[in-house]
Structure 1
Amino acid sequence: MKLRQLRFVKSVAETGSFSKAAEQCCATQPTLSNAIAQLEEELGGRLFDRTTRKVELTAFGNHILGRIEEVLLAEQEVLQTAKTYHDPSHKLLRIGFSPLVDMGLLNHILQPFCHKYQDIELFFKECLLDDLSERLRGDVIDIAIIPSSMLSEEYEHVSFYEDPLFYIARDGTDLTKPGGILKLTDLPSDPVIMTGGGCGLNGSLDHLFKNEGAALTPYRGQAISYQVIEEWADLGIGSGILPQAKISQSRSNAYPLTLRDGTDASFEFCWIWPKELGMRPHIADFIDYIQTTVPSLIAGSDGILPMRAPRSF
């Protein structure tokens, strides 16, 4: 197995075309096709269904694509770690976050910082909560964003934002109430579809329901993504509860949730960083920024400037 083969697979998955992927990867189409065929033989299954009109991932391909992406991201991480070692003056800010985090909002609030500190290179890393902790301890990332219900005394923290929660009814059931909202304590008894748990969704929901004295009945199976939660809810398998940022924009039958006191049910997200951080100047500048400037950006009081696109690793 070679990294180039993995890059070919990722490119085909993204473009939906062998020819476009070959162009993107600066390879001939026969070279790309042969490399993918060799990888499929090694892995023991077809990665793509290919017709004259379109190219789609097979169920096996969809299952394994995430692992392929992780390997390619790890490659970039190794390269950047080496670059920082050989060039200590290189200013790198590595931000890790749970998959629950609103990437649109994160981009939004980083714009003024990137405009002011154009010599700082940003890297994003999306990973599960346990992985985030290991990366913080190992100095692989500098700062992370997690649900506040997952906070630990091991880290310094400051609040970031709150994301309101919405209920997706099983099989599209109409639950319209006066005002169009639902209380957490008044939900149907349908099981709630969860993920594997590592992203923070399950733990945050459990924490919220316990605080409200409400019963949470998880569905016995586990969805691989937030999109699958929506799909399963539409199929009548169970209901779903997701933060607004993770609900498909096209969905119209998601109901805002409230607590007993009438306030919005929501997940709070926080920035965390190690207490013993050797406060490199540019990281200290960023921590000062998220403590002093970001709250006003969240409140919508400041303008937003053009931003250089951060890279993922």
Structure 2
Amino acid sequence: MNLRELQYLVALADHRNFRRAAEACLVSQPTLSTQIRKLEEELGVALFERAPRRVMLTPAGQDAVARARRILAEMEGMREAARRLSRPEAGTARLGVFPTIGPYLLPEVMPQVRARFPQLQLLLTEEKSDQLLTRLREGRLDAAILAMPVHDPALHGEPLFKEPFLLAVPRQHALATRKSLRMEELSRYSLMLLEDGHCLRDQALEVCQLSGAQEGSEFRATSLETLRQMVLAGLGVTLMPALAARGMAPYADRLHLLRFEDSQPSRQIGLFWRRTSAMGPLLSRLAEVLRSVPPGLLDPEGEDEAGSRAALPAAE
């Protein structure tokens, strides 16, 4: 067994097609097929179920692929460690971010990241949190921006900032005449939430549990943008993270945002990477840059721009 065979194994698991896997590995299809068969003979089990038009992993194959990913990630980590010794802030870093924060955070922080690390190429991936964690554990990502906590002793997490939640209501809603509300008042309303798999849904459900609010049963959104459009259409209310709320000014005539008076619900955002990663020192420095989000972006009272004040609630 050698590393090349493990690379073929992972490629076939990813592509589920011998031709496409061979192309990805820059070898002929017979070469890849022969090496996969040789690996199966060496292990004494079938790793793939071969059908006329598709390839599927067997249970033994799933286990072998997971182990192969870890081995290949460790080897890449060894190469990366050697590269970092000579050029610690150069090269490539693969960063994952979840979709309810990526579009709102990255435009604000990427100019500072590029200025601080001019020789670093940052490859960005946007996925749901559970998929980011899988990629991070398997070595397909170097780091990921996630909501805390993440319970995995193999990962190191650096807190970045706390992002408050606001309540978004249509302009014709009874609450649209107010600037703030108490948490307990949420118990009178049903909230529109995201579908399963989004960490924002889990965070919103925690707020519902604390306040006594209920989830609306007739609708679950696939994205934060869909939730916003549903509120704009006057179809319900929802919790909106502060960074996403900054883009609501153009809709001030149709949407209203309220602060919470007594207990500010929020989510803690962090940067996570494998404890064994050779990129740890670099990622610590990257966390410092990501942590320097302008306070006004997270504080509804900190924005001076007139257009934004039209959408965001000010202090009473």
TM range (shorter): 0.5 to 0.7
Query: Does 2:147 match 1:147?
Result: yes
Q: Deviations over 1:135-184 (max 9, x none)?
A: 10111111111122x52233211211222222222573131466x11222
Structure 2: gaps of 5 or more residues: 1-72, 84-89, 297-316
Match of 1:195 in 2: 194
RMSD in angstroms over aligned alpha carbons?
3.0
Identity %: 15
Q: Offset at 1:270? A: 1.2
Match of 1:168 in 2: 168
Q: Offset at 1:230? A: 2.4
Q: How does 1:44-83 map to 2 (within 5 A)?
A: none
Query: Does 2:154 match 1:157?
Result: no
Q: Which whole-Å CA distance do the structure 1 matches of 2:293 and 2:169 have between them?
A: 33
Q: Offset at 1:296? A: 4.6
Q: Which whole-Å CA distance do the structure 2 matches of 1:230 and 1:110 have between them?
A: 25
Match of 1:288 in 2: 285
CA contact (8 A) 1:182 1:258 kept: yes
CA contact (8 A) 1:157 1:272 kept: yes
Cα distance change of structure 1 residues 218 and 164 upon mapping to structure 2, 3 Å threshold: same
The answer to which structure, 1 or 2, has the higher relative contact order (CA under 8 A, 6+ apart) is 1
Structure 1: gaps of 5 or more residues: 1-80, 301-313
CA contact (8 A) 1:170 1:233 kept: yes
Q: Which whole-Å CA distance do the structure 2 matches of 1:218 and 1:274 have between them?
A: 38
Match of 2:258 in 1: 256
Q: Which whole-Å CA distance do the structure 2 matches of 1:171 and 1:235 have between them?
A: 10
Q: Deviations over 1:221-260 (max 9, x none)?
A: 211222221232344433221113324332323222326x
Kindly report structure 1 stretches of 4+ aligned residues shifted beyond 4 Å. 87-90, 296-300
Cα distance change of structure 1 residues 263 and 106 upon mapping to structure 2, 3 Å threshold: farther
Larger of the two Rg values belongs to structure: 2
Cα distance change of structure 1 residues 159 and 172 upon mapping to structure 2, 3 Å threshold: farther
Length-normalised TM-score, structure 2: 0.56
Query: Does 2:229 match 1:231?
Result: yes
Letter in 1 for 2:242: Q
Letter in 1 for 2:166: F
Match of 1:219 in 2: 217
Query: What is the total number of aligned residue pairs between the two structures?
Result: 208
CA contact (8 A) 2:176 2:256 kept: no
In the alignment, which of 244, 248, 257 is matched to residue 242 of structure 2? 244
Cα distance change of structure 1 residues 172 and 255 upon mapping to structure 2, 3 Å threshold: same
Is the partner of 1:111 in helix, strand or coil? Answer: helix
